[in-house]
Amino acid sequence: MAVHVTDADFKEKVLEAATPVMVDFYAQWCGPCKMLAPVIDQLATEQEGKAAVYKLDVDEAGETAQAYRVMNIPTLIFFKNGEEVKRVVGAVAKSEIEGILASL
């Protein structure tokens, strides 16, 4: 299962992470986000030790969502060494996400 991240712990968990990180910016009411949720949870388990996978509820962590200019959800942002390296907007195939994570 993907762990939830908030405005309060975003810096520690994401920006200071030793491994690559993927953050799923989502909302409870978002249909495409709900479709993507099982894939995100699978990836969190499969990537354990290689990359961190987090979920960030834009309604609860609006400060971080605004800081990263997340306008549409779901948005997946990939971080390496505390920097955003890739962004994908919308529900995408698991294989595409795996490819991005592998490239990091």
Mind telling me the catalytic residues? 30, 33
Distance separating alpha carbons of residues 45 and 56, to the nearest angstrom: 17
Q: Of 88, 3, 91, which Cα lies nearest the Cα of 48? A: 3
Instruction: Check whether the bond before 74 is cis (ω within 30° of 0).
Output: yes
- In order, the DSSP letters of 32-89 are HHHHHHHHHHHHHHHTTTT-EEEEEETTT-HHHHHHTT--SSSEEEEEETTEEEEEEE
Which residue carries 């060494």 as its tokens?
A: 81
